Structure 1
Amino acid sequence: MSALAAQAGLQEHWVDPYGVPRRVSSDTLRSLLDSMGLPGGTAARVRESRAAVESIGSRPELLVGYAGGAVRLPGLPLGPCLLEPEEGSAPQAGLRIACDESGAWLRAPSQPGYYRLHPRCGESVRLAIAPCRSETAASRMLARRERLWGVAAQIYSLRTTDEDPVKATWGHGDFAAVRRLAQQLAREGADALMLSPAHAMFSADPAACSPYCPSSRLFLNAAYAAPADVLGEDAVRKAMRSLAEVDWAALDAPRRIDWPRACAARMRLLRRLHHGLAGFGPHVQADYRHFLGSRGETLRDHAVFECLQADASVASDHQGKSLPWTQWKSCWRDPGTPEVRAYAAEHASEVDFHCFLQWLAAASLDQAHRAACRAGMRIGLMADLAVGTSPAGSQAWSQAGHLLAGVSVGAPPDIHNPLGQNWRLTAFSPQALRTHAQAPFLAVLRASLEHVGGLRIDHIAGFERLWVIPEGGEAADGAYLRMPARELLALTALEAWRRQALVIGENLGTVPAGLDAALRQNGILGMDVLWFMQQPGLGPGRVSFTPSKRWPPHAVAMATTHDLPTLAGWWQGVDIAQRAHARLLGPHETAVELRARRAEDRSQLWKCVAGPDCAAPPHRAPIPALLGFVAATPCPLMLAALEDLAGEGEAPNVPGTVHAFPNWRRRMPADAVGACASAPWRQRFEAIRRWRGPA
């Protein structure tokens, strides 16, 4: 079974963050192999499973190379060939497939793109030619020694206050609030606004609000649509008047988002607008028809799933309890069944409503990005690509064959999360990616890049390997599954080059050897986060913080992330209290010891920021000084969390918790656009601008 596991990409042996060798149990390997459709219970089954793995893509349908480099062509005949660009330019003749000790190869064209290679005899094959490193957005920024800065914001947390309810937010942020914030930040000198994931969520279950556990990464969160930006304020004002019983101001008042209440009111408004779609004029009609045609069956499947999940006759048991699609009757579990087709036809108006929501969300996100660029941002909006999707979501329902089944993705125990993490997500099957020429991954990547100028990829170590946990197992009971990192990274570089977009890879935590070098090779910036920029200090077990000038430049500089404490929270030890309250401390940790260690870290950080001869660290977090310290790094882009600009003590998310804290429900205390003029915000902006000056 060990040989089968290795052949399937499962890593039986691994080393934990403390340097201790670990071995995956045979029960875990057997369970994971079963979930991959590769049973190994008997010798005969092992042989059958090994043969099945060998038959998957003996010659890949998509071969990846780099502009001007050698592309390996396993199984292709030697001799003359024709290279045909897929985007319409003239074919290249006079080429030859050569051979060396490693096998057949071809010199790749100098122009990145997708090509069809036609050998003299035999079947043709597709090539994806990624740009060389110097042609990527990140490499150009490094070469020009650019020192840009921007802000990272949680979309839902944004608040817009206005006496006119059409211009206000209705319980949570949306793409109109994003547009207004981006325009204001551009006036402050920012070049980027990085957003939390905007993937499609569950319209029938808005309480499932974690943006990193979406229903589909192919579409957008319909609750973020900004109808006034697309259809005009008068149309929205008219629709709001028809819903006179809704108190829009009351929705916007609380500091915590009531997702079911806010989404219910918003959906009622959007339904009124959908009913009047025919009256919005020929330009709107043509744009909507084009959107429907360009998204095709994939959009239809997502819309049908949204309808089915909201239909109690389909998605509930006899007691009215909602069921995941995996527990629906078999006729509803596949978008291609006659029953699902008939249902879609019978509920055509409702299906069209969910298509309308996606068009509205896409159009308003696109307008927000264009507005950011017109206001002066050189990058504009940056999206965030979650590592996977919910196994209960529309993408898992409509594309079950592309995703891992019966397992959850997470992370093994490490120094910061000693119990490990189970994210309860599914992700792409490496066998399916190979079988489908990486098309499922490309579809998600293109959807994420479509309306933005940059992309952050969450847990990019998952391109190299995923920690997969058997269904029902603990986070520590998993194993690493090897992924096609070379292909995924090269395709990311190519798609980013096609859109001239900047890509950031979240390379925090346990990172496989060689991944950082691979990111640089593909023009993908890593992430340098203040809390992790430490080096050995004087004395055993002691550390000191790395001076900002010594931070490695091939990364984005950040003080924190959505999963880590804010500047104020770290300074006061809020995160320690939260972990203790949620019982997330490791077996050898105590809150008292962690607070003592934090006091030492705080002192060391202050010496690094203010100088070795400085006075004792201040009682309150010196946010301008800390932001200035991060801004002074040689990194080409610095991102400040919106929570730090606002001086917030709580982070958007406390990892490892679901109900203990209001994760993904915290809102900004005030309108961020208006707050930019306040004295605290101006001091923090000025600190960033001062240290982000010329290199």
Structure 2
Amino acid sequence: MRAAPRGWRVTGWAQTQTGADGGIPMTGDTPTPDTPDSPEAPASPALVRLAEAHGIATEYWSFFGERVKVPATTLRATLRAMGVDATTDATIAAALVTAEDEPWRALLPASTVARTGTGTLVVHVRDGHDVRLSVGLEDGSWRDLAIPDQQPTSHEVDGVRRWRLEIPVPADLPLGWHTVHATESPFGGGEPSRTASAPLVVTPERMPAPPTRPGRHRGWGLMAQLYSVRSHASWGMGDFGDLGDLAALAGERGADFLLVNPVHAAEVTSPIEPSPYLPATRRFLAPLYVRPEDIREVAYLAPAERALVEAARTPVAAGDTDPERIDRDAVWAAKRAALEVIFAAPLSAARRAELAAFAAREGQPLQDFALWCALEEHFAGQQRPVEARDISSPLVVSLREQLADRVAFHVWLQWIADQQLERAQAAATASGMSIGVMHDLAVGVHPQGSDAWSLRDMYAPGIAVGAPPDMYNQQGQTWNQPPWLPAALAEAGYAPLRDMIRTLLRHAGALRIDHVIGLFRLWWIPAGLGPAAGTYVRYDHEAMIGVLMLEAQRAGAVLIGEDLGNVEPWVRDYLSARGILGTSVLWFEREGDGFRPPEQYREALLATVNTHDLPPTAGYLADEHVALRARLGLLTRPVEEELAEADAERATMLALLRERGLIGDSPTEAEVIEALNVFITAAPSRLLGVALVDAVGERRTQNQPGTSTEYPNWQIPLAGPDGRVVLLDDLAQSARFTSLLAAVDARI
């Protein structure tokens, strides 16, 4: 579950539907059907067939076990977002014909993703024509494809019969991004009638097991919200320098990984969205985490420029001991001032070459992201012209040149962030970690962010991602994020997904995919209908998981899918068969009225005691989670009932810990937390995670689902049970931290 973003973000989504400044406008006026649907009007059989042809669920089983039929209004709006006209019976009939005929018109499909040693390439050839096929391999070599004898099926389109050929992908084709070339010519020779090229992606069958330290068959690691972990060297929030130091500290104590919150780029102007799960882009990194002093050019600054850097740091560094809240806006204002001073310093010839190589490798997407940042600055506090929403408009083309210096600054920032992340991963592996940094991939992006602007055609207009009603959110949830269009992804050869994963795994050993079910299906909510009136839309999970695996295997990285909640059972089996780990949280592992023994957990798991959407264990033990929800008015039952249920759950768990001899009759809070983490070491799970907040006794939750401005989500600095700040510098001498990590490490 996700907390709603701050208030202006919620209204920003409502503005998006009417084409407000910076949003994703609807494609034209909303058409009216022949007979307007009531909100609950059932869909006609033809509309049902059309929706299903486009991967849209026309019925589903709810969290409460009810079979829900999706109303016509939802199906029409969802189809409209896909560019399909379903307003009348006539347009539905025409769209059904198009859905059947369009694949036959194409000589090659938009893209083909196959597992190594398997897979089929589909070709559609017109009657009276022959076809020749070849593959351009990623390494630059070529290979002709033989077409085996077969009895193809056929279909008449546009008055021409077309034949469907199925060609096995050669079993010895190497993993990678290849290109299929097809040439269609009339029988008996003559000039080619048609040619086509399309991506052919060969992906691994299964991911290898996670690497471990010598003599061990599994690993463990620390989990932290990076922004909350500050040191004496920080600028008011945790940064990439702190990431490397924390990883090294944990690695020296036997940890194999350090899982951190998403470090995707956010806004570059105030207000900066605090939620790391609602980024401007998932492709590039947040300069917020850059440590200015760690940039090489700082060492060569003149005294006056160095003084400017120090002066920028002083006010925000004083906040490192503030236990209340992290102020991202103040941090970024200070860092930006210092970074602009450093950016102005000349680069050596070698450094210029490195920057040029980085920019060339990242290509046009980096230039577009940097342009978006420059435009955010340029239009800050102003009404943005309609033309600015279109990356190809004359205005934006002109501003790209006009703002070239600012574009160059933001390109440089990404280079610096990339280098600092590289050093953090190097520090992690040097400390003995077998995996190192584990990144977290957010579900989606902000509707007014960089990705939604520069990749506008990849996203469904007028749609938000969310979740259907469940026992915790009876009206459902809207996460205010536009979904990818399945067909657009295929047309792009899944390049946006590939490039995003490459960036995240370039300097990391693992990737956790938040809400991994989103690679299989997403809950689409048409504008104005509310989350309960949404429906599921299917994605080509075989292609998306395959691309994910290919890039992870190339990076030597581990994949973990967050598969908590209402996930179809076959999805967990599928992920396990592909070597992708699932996730487990102690408090969710229930069996009857009690808890499932950890020995019965799945092996292909990252098992943990808690997660960032739950209170730290110290807070749970002290009933802080009940008290907080009571203060915020989030309880649906009397406080007494909530407390009684929490006490019963806690008593059951404590009794289980006593049965195993993990605690005595009167354990301290620290002893219980340590025992809970030791308890899950009995699981056969490949990886175990220890929350840093539990290791220091923090009581405050980082994110309270169901709130926006009512609670400072994602802004809580690390502190102990007494409310005093815990700095990274303090951890090595912390008896509580040392004892917990040693207890877990001894049982791995």
Deviations 1:171-198 (CA, angstroms, capped at 9, x unpaired): 1111011011111111111111111101
Q: Secondary structure, in 3 states, of the residue corresponding to 2:364? A: helix
33 and 435 in structure 1: CA distance in 2 versus 1, 3 angstrom threshold: same
Decide whether the 8 Å contact of 1:418 with 1:585 is kept in 2: no
Counterpart in 1 of 2:331? 262
* Structure 2 counterpart of 1:608, one-letter code: L
Q: Distance in 1 between matches of 2:511 and 2:489?
A: 21
Deviates more, 1:118-127 or 1:343-352: 118-127
Counterpart in 2 of 1:382? 438
Deviates more, 1:484-493 or 1:577-586: 577-586
* Structure 2 counterpart of 1:222, one-letter code: P
Give the TM-score normalised by structure 1: 0.89
Counterpart in 1 of 2:115? 66
* Structure 2 counterpart of 1:86, one-letter code: E
78 and 154 in structure 1: CA distance in 2 versus 1, 3 angstrom threshold: farther
Give 1:418 shift.
3.6
Give the TM-score normalised by structure 2: 0.83
Counterpart in 2 of 1:287? 354
For the pair shown, the structure with the greater C-alpha radius of gyration is 2
Matched, 1:634 2:684: yes
Give 1:97 shift.
4.2
Deviates more, 1:41-50 or 1:196-205: 41-50
- Residue in structure 1 matching 2:373, options 297, 303, 306: 306
626 and 233 in structure 1: CA distance in 2 versus 1, 3 angstrom threshold: farther
- After superposition, the CA RMSD in angstroms is 2.8
Q: Secondary structure, in 3 states, of the residue corresponding to 2:746? A: helix
22 and 175 in structure 1: CA distance in 2 versus 1, 3 angstrom threshold: same
- Residue in structure 1 matching 2:171, options 100, 104, 108: 108
Matched, 1:603 2:672: no
Give 1:399 shift.
0.9
Give 1:568 shift.
1.4
Deviates more, 1:230-239 or 1:29-38: 230-239
Q: Identity across aligned pairs (percent)?
A: 32
- Residue in structure 1 matching 2:320, options 241, 248, 252: 252
Give 1:52 shift.
5.1
Decide whether the 8 Å contact of 1:153 with 1:196 is kept in 2: yes
The 5 A counterparts of 1:355-394 are 355-394=411-450
Counterpart in 1 of 2:258? 193
Q: Distance in 2 between matches of 1:418 and 1:677?
A: 46
Q: Distance in 1 between matches of 2:397 and 2:600?
A: 60
Decide whether the 8 Å contact of 1:387 with 1:427 is kept in 2: no
139 and 347 in structure 1: CA distance in 2 versus 1, 3 angstrom threshold: closer
Q: Structure 1: where are the runs of 5+ without partners?
A: 162-167, 318-327, 537-542
73 and 675 in structure 1: CA distance in 2 versus 1, 3 angstrom threshold: same
Give 1:82 shift.
4.5
Matched, 1:175 2:240: yes
Deviations 1:21-43 (CA, angstroms, capped at 9, x unpaired): 22223222233233332232211
Decide whether the 8 Å contact of 2:183 with 2:196 is kept in 1: no
Decide whether the 8 Å contact of 2:213 with 2:219 is kept in 1: no
* Structure 1 counterpart of 2:697, one-letter code: G
* Structure 2 counterpart of 1:250, one-letter code: A
* Structure 1 counterpart of 2:526, one-letter code: P
31 and 79 in structure 1: CA distance in 2 versus 1, 3 angstrom threshold: closer
Give 1:139 shift.
6.7
Matched, 1:676 2:732: yes
Counterpart in 1 of 2:219? 148
* Structure 2 counterpart of 1:201, one-letter code: A
Matched, 1:242 2:281: no
Decide whether the 8 Å contact of 2:598 with 2:682 is kept in 1: yes
Counterpart in 1 of 2:161? none
Give 1:616 shift.
6.1
Counterpart in 1 of 2:490? 434
Decide whether the 8 Å contact of 2:609 with 2:677 is kept in 1: yes
Aligned pairs, number: 662
Matched, 1:85 2:137: yes
Give 1:597 shift.
1.8
Deviations 1:598-624 (CA, angstroms, capped at 9, x unpaired): 222112222333317986675736111
Q: Distance in 2 between matches of 1:242 and 1:143?
A: 48
Q: Secondary structure, in 3 states, of the residue corresponding to 1:73? A: strand
- Residue in structure 1 matching 2:712, options 662, 671, 690: 662
Deviations 1:503-539 (CA, angstroms, capped at 9, x unpaired): 1101011102411111122221100111111112xxx
Q: Secondary structure, in 3 states, of the residue corresponding to 1:61? A: coil
Decide whether the 8 Å contact of 2:116 with 2:174 is kept in 1: yes
Decide whether the 8 Å contact of 1:98 with 1:105 is kept in 2: no
Deviations 1:106-149 (CA, angstroms, capped at 9, x unpaired): 1432642233345685645432221122xx23377799972211
Q: Distance in 2 between matches of 1:4 and 1:248?
A: 56
The 5 A counterparts of 1:605-624 are 605-611=653-659, 618=667, 620=669, 622-624=672-674
Give 1:426 shift.
1.4
Deviations 1:643-680 (CA, angstroms, capped at 9, x unpaired): 11111112211122111111111111222343132111
Matched, 1:211 2:244: no
Give 1:48 shift.
4.0
Matched, 1:31 2:77: yes
Counterpart in 1 of 2:24? none
Q: Secondary structure, in 3 states, of the residue corresponding to 1:626? A: helix
Matched, 1:512 2:568: yes
- Residue in structure 2 matching 1:316, options 382, 385, 391: 382
The 5 A counterparts of 1:218-229 are 218-229=283-294
Counterpart in 2 of 1:129? 202
Deviates more, 1:2-11 or 1:176-185: 2-11
Deviations 1:65-86 (CA, angstroms, capped at 9, x unpaired): 2222343535479998644421
Give 1:419 shift.
3.8
Q: Distance in 2 between matches of 1:120 and 1:143?
A: 53
